[in-house]
Amino acid sequence: MTTVAPARRVQAEYPFEIHEDVPPSTQDTDMSTHEEMEADEEAEGEQPEDADDQQSNYSESFEEEVVDGNIQQDMEKLANTYPGFRHRYRLIKRIGEGTFSTVYKAEDLQYDRYDNSWDLDKENEKWSPPPLKTYASHSSMTTDATQSMEQARRRKPKYVAIKKIYVTSSPTRILNELELLHDLRNCPSVCPLITAFRSTDQVVAILPYFRHMDFREYFRKMTVPDMAIYLRSLFTALSFVHARHILHRDIKPTNFLYDPESRRGVLVDFGLAEREGADSKPCSCHDDPVARKMKLRAALHSNLSPHNGYPKQDTRPSRRANRAGTRGFRAPEVLFKCTQQTTKIDIWSVGVILLTILSRRFPFFNSADDVEAMIEIATIFGQKRMRAAGQLHGCMFETTIPTIGSVGFSLERIILWSTCRSDTGETLSGDEKLAVEFLNRCMELDPHRRISADEALQHEFLQMGVDEPAPLAEAGDDDEMDILKV
Ligand SMILES: Nc1ncnc2c1ncn2[C@@H]1O[C@H](COP(=O)(O)OP(=O)(O)OP(=O)(O)O)[C@@H](O)[C@H]1O
Ligand SMILES: [Mg+2]
């Protein structure tokens, strides 16, 4: 087994590195399985996104529920993949199945052996573990296991989420996710990486288990202050992530694990995240407006200007840009294939979450592809603004679809419609109006005008409910690790 992270957990002073616990076996090195997403431009980084995908999650109602036979088999297989796994973790159930991984809940049997500085919950526990006996590193596994079991039995169980990354994921992508998580350790509201293991081409990441509820179960019941509290937690995470010039790229409800009871959330899934500028080429959206206008004018007067319909032989050079993310949550600049995307793409996705909550509709956008996604956005924002948004990135946006009007609709109107209030003449409440004002700032089509995470945290809307005392997390049957300060 290879440990793909520091042996002592969460060691701020060491840079992230891969090191071997045991000499690699001959099978141990080849991880170059097929690059499932990166080869094809159309599919680049795209998640297979039927609407269910945005919703695939679990509801956490039963603790040690009966596990389906096939899942049991998969868990057995996983536990057998790593020597010593059973001494460290007791797999309980499958809690998530995503595009790139399957996630299991497990009990951490050796919790007491490690530096758990990320686990704020431990401070609150009355019971403190007895000092550990030191023992030789080659002590027998049986003694190790007995000791771990004994300790685990004597304290409240501690749980971890074990993310089994599919072997078809590219090694670069896996390393990228682990490295970014390592860089983001100590960020409030970001789920930290405890450690990671590799055996041949199978990598698992170990994360603190965070209790949360399926978004679909609570979003319709949220009051406006609830929305502000939810978003404050999410923006706190983003503020730290963005300060490190990292784009998450896949902000959506299933990647922000939220517990409405304790009103805390953590951002997970950095599988598509990237460093700002890592893969960028200049885009005209970063030019000054005068230079951009001149470029556009030149393009309009050349034969590259748009005509009705498709050119039979399109001689324009194809454009490549990172479009990774989830359908329905992609920012307009991602759809326009901007080659110089910034952290603002995440803000748009948060806007989509807020629009979903305010409109009580999930999923709010439900397009089959990027063209449909543009049509959905254009229907709301209108042709004029959509055209201007495209021009920022050197794209022409033209459509003859009759439902896309010239000026579109206000978000306020959309929300009144979708909550069936437009016929009754009802208007938005004062709180809702403030939320919509904030929403408009998140869903600016121009990324430069869109609010940043830091600015969002200062916005009046996110100040709502700030003085309310946080409810005490129930000391119930569960066990979540309290890994946040907000
Ligand atoms: N630390 C955690 N604590 C509790 N549950 C978790 C944790 N990490 C992940 N999960 C559960 O597993 C699901 C999938 O995790 P994650 O998003 O990291 O994997 P993924 O394969 O990239 O998923 P997707 O492709 O759907 O985005 C999450 O939506 C969540 O329900
Ligand atoms: Mg995910």
Asked whether the predicted pLDDT for residue 44 surpasses 50, the reply is: no
Give the pLDDT of residue 51: 31
- Do 111 and 158 touch, CB atoms closer than 8 A? yes
- Do 234 and 228 touch, CB atoms closer than 8 A? no
Closest CA to 159 of 212, 200, 80, 231: 212
Pocket mutation for ligand 1, best pick of 37, 181, 268 (most atoms within 8 Å of C-beta):
268
Name the helix (H) or strand (E) containing 7.
none
Backbone torsion region of residue 465, taken as left when φ is above 0, otherwise alpha when ψ lies between -120 and 50, otherwise beta: left
Mean pLDDT of all residues in 310-333: 88
User: How many CB atoms within 10 Å of residue 243?
Assistant: 12
Is residue 54 in contact with ligand 1, taking CB distance under 6 Å? Answer: no
Asked whether the predicted pLDDT for residue 427 surpasses 90, the reply is: yes
How much of the chain, in percent, has pLDDT values that exceed 90? 60
For residues 17 and 83, the model is more confident at: 83
For residue 190, what is the DSSP state?
B
Give the confidence band of 146 by pLDDT, cuts at 50, 70, 90.
Answer: low
Give the pLDDT of residue 33: 26
Query: Residue 206 phi/psi, 5° resolution?
Result: -105, 125
- Out of 101-115, 208-222, 467-481, least confident range: 467-481
Amino acid identity, residue 7?
Answer: A
Q: Dump pLDDT digits (tens) for 88-114.
A: 999 999 999 988 999 999 999 999 887
Q: Dump pLDDT digits (tens) for 265-288.
A: 999 999 999 999 998 888 989 888
Query: Residue 61 phi/psi, 5° resolution?
Result: -105, -30
For the chain, domains (ranges, CATH) are: 23-119+152-212 (3.30.200.20), 215-304+320-463 (1.10.510.10)
Give the confidence band of 301 by pLDDT, cuts at 50, 70, 90.
Answer: low
Q: Is 250 a catalytic residue?
A: yes
**Alpha carbon nearest to ligand 1 atom 29, residue:** 254
Burial 174-200 (b: 16+ CB within 10 A, else e): bbbbbbbbbbbbebbbbbbbbbbbbbb
Catalytic residue among 112, 119, 250, 346: 250
Mean pLDDT of all residues in 178-198: 94
Q: Dump pLDDT digits (tens) for 443-470.
A: 999 999 999 999 999 999 999 977 777 6
Give the pLDDT of residue 32: 27
416: tokens are 């009144």
Give the pLDDT of residue 279: 84
Is residue 408 in contact with ligand 1, taking CB distance under 6 Å? Answer: no
Is residue 326 in contact with ligand 1, taking CB distance under 6 Å? Answer: no
Give the pLDDT of residue 12: 38
- Do 441 and 450 touch, CB atoms closer than 8 A? yes
